[in-house]
Structure 1
Amino acid sequence: MAKELTESRRTRYTRQAMQDALIELMRERPLGAITVKALCERADVNRSTFYAHYSSIEELLHDIEDETMAWVTAALDQLLRQPNLAGIERIIEQICRYIADNRNHLQVLMSPKADIGFQQQLLGLIYSRRGVAERMQSGARDTTEAQMRMRFAVSGSIGLIQYWLSTDLAASPESVARIILTMALPEADPPEADLPEPSRPQ
């Protein structure tokens, strides 16, 4: 049992080292320019170790994306169980704190450097949740307006998070959560905090 636990910890550590190395390299160069050799050198593992876990660099990236999607799925399910705005706001704050805690990975995953398919998959996941749609469409006069409200809220929220990440999280998670809440749900109060102004050219 102790040996299995040690091996499991070692496996998790090795995978994390390779994930971190890939994210670091994606900050420096396009995904297509990253070789297994460069990744192994950055992660301090040998090629046989890499291929024991992944068949390609792309598969490693998808592993990172899948872990993120699994967390978002769980967070959405928790959000939909909340009976009131206070509960929803707490969950959105948790999501924003998760983003803050994992900024190194998410700054890359949510940027043009990453696979645009991941961002589309994230949108699709949110759109597919019936409870999300119902809450975002409250107050709409018809189905067309309801759909436009939902897409504006979801796309706007993701755009806001991308901007927040690009500022290296200059605003607090609580401020961003409050803006997302009031943008997505018409019955929420106006936001009380502002995001930083973009820098102006000198």
Structure 2
Amino acid sequence: MTPKNKKSQIKIQNAFIELLEYLPLAKITVRALCNHAEINRSTFYRYFRSISQLTTATIERHFGLLFGETYKFYLKHQSIEESQFYIANNIFSHIRHDYDFYHIMFKRYPNFYITLKDFITVRYMQLFEDTGVANHMVLDKNIVAEYIASAYTGMIQGWINRQLQESPNTMAERLITLNSNGPIRLLTEAEKRIK
């Protein structure tokens, strides 16, 4: 794809996100999008078949930046623990950078929470395979990946709802603490401190 074509695609996707600020997804039409982006319909159809396909492509473009180069990082450091902080910090930094997109999508795209969770689950399952730990865990890799993805997605949505009050680094540390210790252990340790 030429730089000009890429620029046109991104222009259409950005106009789509802008429209989502004040229109529900179901009410966005190709005509409204073309008017907002100041393009003709043939330009839209050169890149996208429908609003649905545009939605998917826009989500995929943003999700593609979430994890960074995880496996390359792991190969260099050979540490799951360090890789986890790299992933968490990359994810929360990306969310902060593209806050408007994530804020709008959680608000306007009905299945965004599940879409994000599923994406993170798949990426973690791939990480487990790449690092060789997939078949050596106490629990099934699917369960572990879903647990981690659910923690991420819940924390991301809460952070967005709080309008990113904490830094990406703080959020990464909190997520690592939660995933490293588990919520039950954190609760039982708190209970011991009370007594």
* Global fold match (TM > 0.5): yes
Report matched runs for 1:29-178 at 5 Å. Answer: 29-72=23-66, 74-78=68-72, 80-81=74-75, 82-84=77-79, 85-109=81-105, 111-116=106-111, 118-129=115-126, 131=128, 143=139, 151-178=146-173
- Cα distance, 1:70 vs structure 2: 2.9
| Alignment gaps of 5+ in structure 1 | 1-6, 191-202
**Change in CA separation of 1:76 and 1:112 when aligned onto 2, cut-off 3 Å:** farther
For residues 137-186 of structure 1, the C-alpha deviation after alignment (integer angstroms, 9 at most, x for no partner) is x9x9x537x87665443212210011112222111111111111111223
- Cα distance, 1:115 vs structure 2: 4.9
- Structure showing greater relative contact order (alpha-carbon pairs closer than 8 Å, 6 or more residues apart): 2
Amino acid at match of 2:159: W
- Cα distance, 1:123 vs structure 2: 4.2
Corresponding residue SS for 1:129:
helix
Corresponding residue SS for 1:143:
coil
CA–CA distance in 2 between the matches of 1:64 and 1:77?
Answer: 24
Corresponding residue SS for 1:125:
helix
CA–CA distance in 2 between the matches of 1:130 and 1:87?
Answer: 10
Amino acid at match of 2:156: I
CA–CA distance in 2 between the matches of 1:147 and 1:52?
Answer: 38
Are the equivalent residues in 2 in contact too, given 1:75–1:95 (CA < 8 A)? no
**Change in CA separation of 1:61 and 1:33 when aligned onto 2, cut-off 3 Å:** same
The more displaced of 74-83 and 22-31 is 74-83
Alignment partner of 1:14 out of 3, 8, 13: 8
What value does the CA root-mean-square deviation take over the aligned residues?
Answer: 3.3
Q: How many correspondences in the alignment?
A: 178
**1:182 corresponds to:** 177
Q: Percent identity?
A: 21
Judging by fraction of residues, say which structure has more helix. Answer: 2
For residues 31-62 of structure 1, the C-alpha deviation after alignment (integer angstroms, 9 at most, x for no partner) is 11101111111112111111111111111111
Are the equivalent residues in 1 in contact too, given 2:70–2:83 (CA < 8 A)? no
- Cα distance, 1:68 vs structure 2: 2.9
CA–CA distance in 2 between the matches of 1:107 and 1:125?
Answer: 22
